[in-house]
Amino acid sequence: MTKTRKPLEKYRRIVIKIGSALLVDRKTGLKTTWLNAMCADIAALRAKGIDVLVVSSGAIALGRSVLDLPAGALKLEESQAAAAIGQIALARAWSESLSTDGIVAGQILLTLGDTEERRRYLNARATINQLLKLGAVPIINENDTVATTEIRYGDNDRLAARVATMTGADLLVLLSDIDGLYTAPPHLDPDARFLDTIAEITPAIEAMAGGAASELSRGGMRTKIDAGKIATGAGCAMIIASGKPDHPLSAIENGARSSWFAPSGSPVTARKTWIAGQLLPAGSLAVDAGAETALRSGKSLLPAGVRHVTGSFSRGDTIAIIGTEGREIARGLAGYDADEARQITGRKSAEIAAILGYAGRAAMVHRDDMVMTATGLRRDMDTERDTADA
C-alpha cells in the first residue's frame, strides 16, 4: 500500500463517473435501489464537506429500454432520440434520489466544443463552479441529442477526466463493471495480474489497455487509460473500481479491489491543463534532438529546431510536438499559422522577418503556451502552481 491510496475523505473535490450498465438494466430499466445507495454514499461525502460531481452515463441505454429498441448498434439519429428520452428520465431519477438525502442536483449537458474551445470551456467551468458553490451536485453527461459521430466524446471516461481537470478536482473515480487494470484482459489471459497502484502511465501501461484502435475502446480500458492521462497529468488522482456492489464508494473505503493512479507530481497552471487535455490537436510539429533537449529544460520551441509541419492550423490553435522517436512529447499553442510555420521551418529566428515580410515572434511555440505531455517529462518542466489563470 503506497500513499497513492488515501481515504476518500482526504480529497477536496471528487468527480464520480458512473457507467450505463450500473444504472440501467436492459429489461427492467433504471436500477433504483442501486441509485439510492449511490446517492447515500454521495451524501456521506457531502456531509464531510467534500464537493462531489457526477458524470452519469445511461441516457442512451435508458431511452433504449423505454423505447424497447432491438439489441444491436443504433443509427445516429436513433441514439440521439434515445438519449433525448433517456436523459430526461435519468436527470429526474438523480434529482429525486439525491433530494431524499437533502441534496439539490443540477443538470449539465456538454458537447465536445464546450470543453475544447477555450471561451466555451471557461463558460461551462463557471456554471459548474457556481453550482458547487451553491451546494448542489452537478449531474453531467454528454449532450448526446446533438453530438454527431465526428464531434463527440462518445465515452464518458474522457469526458469525466475533462470535467475533473476543468474543475480542479483532486480525485476522479471511474465506476463500471471493470474492477481495475490488469496486465492483460483477464477474461482472455489466465496469467493476467491485477495492478492496484499505478505510479505513472508509461507506454507499458498503455499497452496493457490495448492499442488506440482496440476493440476495447468506447468505455473499455483504453478510454479509461486516456482519462487517466488527462486527469493525472493535471494533478488529479484516479481510481478504477467496480460499481457493481450497492454503495460502491463505501466498498472502496472498505478495501474493495480497485486500481489507483497517482497524480503527476506537480500541478500545472489552469491554462496549461486546458492545453494538455485538448482532444483534437489541429496539427503537429516534428522536432530535432536539439530542440527536444531544449524543450525538456523548459525552453521555447524555435523554428530552427522544427523539421516538419503537419496539418492546417491557425496561430493560437493547439498543436502536438513530436519528438525524434515519433511520439508526442508536448502540446502547445501555435505561434504561427501552418503555412507560415512551413516557410520558417528549420530557419533561424533572425531570418523570420525577411521570409515572412514582417517581424513575427521568435518562437514557434512559446514556453508559456506549452506543456510537456510525454510520461516522465512533465516533472522536468512544470514547476508553476495552479493559479487558475483564466
Site for ligand GLU, rule CB under 6 A: 20, 57-61, 83, 141-142, 144, 155-156, 219
Nearer to ligand GLU, 60 or 181 (CB): 60
| Residue 278 φ then ψ, to 5° | -60, 130
Closest to 370 in 3D by CA, of 322, 318, 328, 327: 318
* Residue 146 beta carbon to ligand GLU: minimum distance, rounded to whole angstroms: 12
Q: Give me the DSSP letters along 323-356.
A: -TTSSEEEEEE-SS-HHHHHHHTT--GGGHHHHH
Virtual torsion, Cα 165, 209, 201, 378, nearest 10 deg:
-60
* Residue 160 beta carbon to ligand GLU: minimum distance, rounded to whole angstroms: 9
Q: How many helices (H) and strands (E) does the chain have?
A: 15, 17
DSSP secondary structure code for residue 365 in this structure: B
Nearer to ligand GLU, 143 or 375 (CB): 143
* Residue 143 beta carbon to ligand GLU: minimum distance, rounded to whole angstroms: 9
Nearer to ligand GLU, 150 or 325 (CB): 150
Nearer to ligand GLU, 57 or 375 (CB): 57
Q: Across the strands, what pairs with 332?
A: 319, 370
d(CA 364, CA 335): 5
* Residue 264 beta carbon to ligand GLU: minimum distance, rounded to whole angstroms: 24
Closest to 107 in 3D by CA, of 122, 121, 87: 87
* Residue 368 beta carbon to ligand GLU: minimum distance, rounded to whole angstroms: 34
Nearer to ligand GLU, 155 or 292 (CB): 155
Find all residues with CB under 8 Å of 274, minimum gap 6, and list them. Answer: 118, 121, 165, 166
Nearer to ligand GLU, 20 or 278 (CB): 20
* Residue 247 beta carbon to ligand GLU: minimum distance, rounded to whole angstroms: 22
Nearer to ligand GLU, 59 or 270 (CB): 59
* Residue 222 beta carbon to ligand GLU: minimum distance, rounded to whole angstroms: 12
